[in-house]
Chain A
Amino acid sequence: MSLLAVEDLRVQFVTDDGVVHAVDGISYAVETGTTLGIVGESGSGKTVSSLTTMGLTRGGSTRISGTIQFEGRDLLQASDEELRSIRGNDIAMIFQDPLSSLHPFYKVGTQLVETMLAHRDLSKAAARDRAVELLQLVGIPDPQRRVDQYPHEFSGGMRQRAMIAMALANEPKLLIADEPTTALDVTVQAQILALMQDLQNRLGMAVIIITHDLGVVAEIADEIAVMYAGRIVEHGSTNQIFSAPQHPYTWGLLKSIPRLDVGRSDELVPISGRPPSLINRPSGCFFHPRCPYVRDRHRRVDPRLEPVDGDRGHEVACLLSAAVRGKIWDGLRSGRDAESLRGLAETEQAAAGSVPKAGT
């Protein structure tokens, strides 16, 4: 049994403008000791799905369905009381902005102690000792002194370390890190990622890391789920996603980011348009308005997340056939542009033959 198993999770927010389909039927599982990377842009639902795991999206205007099994218990059915005993104890979360997630009026040590006392039967002195220990563990120099300082006396990297210390205070089984390094400089980012990996090895926890940075997931994730418009469009091992990506959106992401190891002469290939509204979503495949390989059928048929033939554990939601996808990716990888490869998608339709033309 997986530590965390999310099945067909849907989260909708009812607003004055309409229903926002923030998360639309996603499923994934995380095993103890492994790291799942969830990649996507703003508004892809990656944060909402994990906030829902923590029970932080509950409220009058939210509609949630599906199941989130944590050690066999459905968190969606759990009472607020039960959730409180799990949150910060079995499942902990690190947020993106460490300055706004730490209380400015309380000392860092006090906030760490509070986290422990909420779940453990400890004396205050013992909790404080443990707080010092934790600050030491996450590499904050001079923890005896630092424990009595306020968040504003910490640098950005140290605040993020303090957040991690707080998340680890009760040795969680699952750590959810939402863009943990986005606000940090690159050398500090490297320190924090190394720290998270080191702690994972020592404590054996499962980690879900949410990020828009493909570089970060390539470094630390075992498995990757790519989200677009509230859905998982591709899911596989890190090697599968980077060596044989299947979804045009994943290709777009990989080709549109500047890379350290690619020289100046290469043009970036942007993904045209912008992410869709989650209130009025496109028909058919949600990615079709931005997809260079769109066919008429894609505007009407909504693809399911299905296994990729001959690549165990790799799933994709795309209407192109596996053979065509393979050819297109080979072309993209050898430097051809999407325009010249569009023909490949057309040959497929010709071969399929029976597909009726709709409209123009």
Chain B
Amino acid sequence: MTATAPPLIEVRNLVKHFPITSGIVLQRQVGAVKAVDDVSFDVRSGETLGLVGETGCGKSTTARLIVRLLEPTSGTVTFEGEDVTGRSGASLKALRREMQMIFQDPYSSLNPRKTVGSIIAEPFVIHGLLSGEGERKRRVQQLMDRVGLNPEHYNRYPHEFSGGQRQRIGVARAIALEPKLLVADEPVSALDVSIQAQVLNLLRELQREMGLTLIFIAHDLSVVRHMCDRVAVMYLGKIAELGDNDALYGFPRHPYTGALLSAVPVPDPETGRRDRQLLSGDVPSPANPPQACRFHTRCPKAQEVCSTEEPLLEDKGTGTVAACHFPLTRDEVTLRLPVALTEPPDVPVAGSERA
């Protein structure tokens, strides 16, 4: 990816508040869940951007706002230089051809009463493409073959397929219209470990072949490490840190990123050792998030200023932007992260990138 390529998507000050109402007949709004609260980032053409964070951090909501499955409370989403936030009707439908989504649960995202053939053909029907029956079927079978399904299973129903195969059906449906953007929301978290790799490799292959731009949402930091060029870490509706994959994993600056990486179990008793940093407590409610820095209630480095002054996303000089007053130092990172992460065996680390 060249950094000069114009971004496919620009997200600016995106906000989504879900109202909390009280009363049954006369509902009044008594508050709001601030699911996404002033988020800005770019998605470059052809790259894979990862959105990671824990339950309730707003990663799925952000993705749904981008593909317009949800209406933003405020802020804009620009697709190929054009503001698409206000689109509706036919122009929104045209936009949807360019952006498709793969969902987490391959069981509930496929209609059990439809054959696989008609599920994958649905996008063509909606957009009035490939009107001939034979032509449509041929294209669907090509797609099935492309994602590793047997094209002869055209007339089977979703329940006849395993979880991994169903997820392939979802992928085939999503790439049918050859979109520019594919949003994958936890595409492998419902799959068995030995099957996950099959689907992840498929997504990578398709991206390479079709030049897809991918927004990849996951809570599993290892999967994101494997899939993404750049990664945005979200916490309570805000971006805590954003940067290139290697920079972010090798030298996280936001204490929350550090805590997440520190918490991931590494399947290696030798190189996985570290002084694990445990966060205390749970994620606060997004209906009533902490003032100023939202992480200050759980942050091991929090000081007075963190609860009075909100930190802005700033370049920390090590390849990532982070919203933190007191970013992690190299020593803290070395102590808390798995050995193998901070000292990759084949790359000599001689303190060359000290901030």
Contact = CB atoms under 8 A, between A and B. Distances in A.
Do the two chains bind? Answer: yes
Interface of A: 41-42, 141, 155-158, 185-191, 193-194, 212-219, 238-239, 242-243, 252-254, 256-264, 266-272, 274-275
Given A158-B282, A242-B267, A268 B259 contact: no
A214 B267 contact: yes
A359 B279 CA distance: 60
Nearest to A219: B265
A219 B268 CA distance: 8
A238 B262 CA distance: 21
A212 B54 contact: no
Contacts of A259: 222, 225-226, 266-268
Residue from the set B197, B223, B227, B262 with the largest chain A CB neighbour count within 10 Å? B197
Contacts of A215: 222, 264-267, 272
12 contacts: A185-B54, A190-B265, A216-B265, A218-B266, A239-B269, A258-B196, A258-B220, A259-B222, A260-B264, A260-B338, A268-B200, A270-B196
Contact of A242 (B263, B268, B276, B340): B268
Nearest to A214: B267
B146 interface: no
Contacts of B54: 185-188
A188 B341 contact: no
Nearest to A269: B197
Across chains A and B, which 5 residue pairs bring their CB atoms closest together, nearest first?
A215-B265, A261-B340, A258-B226, A270-B197, A190-B263
B266 A256 contact: no
Interface in B233-282: 245-246, 249, 259-272, 276, 278-282
B279 A260 contact: no
Nearest to A252: B194
Given A186-B219, A186-B260, A264-B226, A257 B267 contact: yes
A242 B272 CA distance: 11
Nearest to A237: B269
A213 B189 CA distance: 12
B263 A258 contact: no
Given A185-B55, A215-B264, A215-B266, A260 B194 contact: no
Residue from the set A141, A155, A213, A268 with the largest chain B CB neighbour count within 10 Å? A268
Interface residues of B, number: 51
B272 A218 contact: yes
Given A261-B271, A261-B341, 11 more contacts: A41-B194, A158-B282, A186-B221, A215-B264, A215-B267, A243-B269, A253-B194, A257-B267, A258-B227, A264-B225, A264-B246
B162 interface: yes
Given A42-B192, A218-B266, A260 B281 contact: no
A261 B221 CA distance: 11
A185 B259 CA distance: 12
A39 B263 CA distance: 20
Contacts of A218: 265-269, 272
Residue from the set B222, B267, B344 with the largest chain A CB neighbour count within 10 Å? B267
Contacts of A194: 276, 278
B163 to A, nearest CB: 9
Residue from the set B193, B228, B271 with the largest chain A CB neighbour count within 10 Å? B193
B235 to A, nearest CB: 11
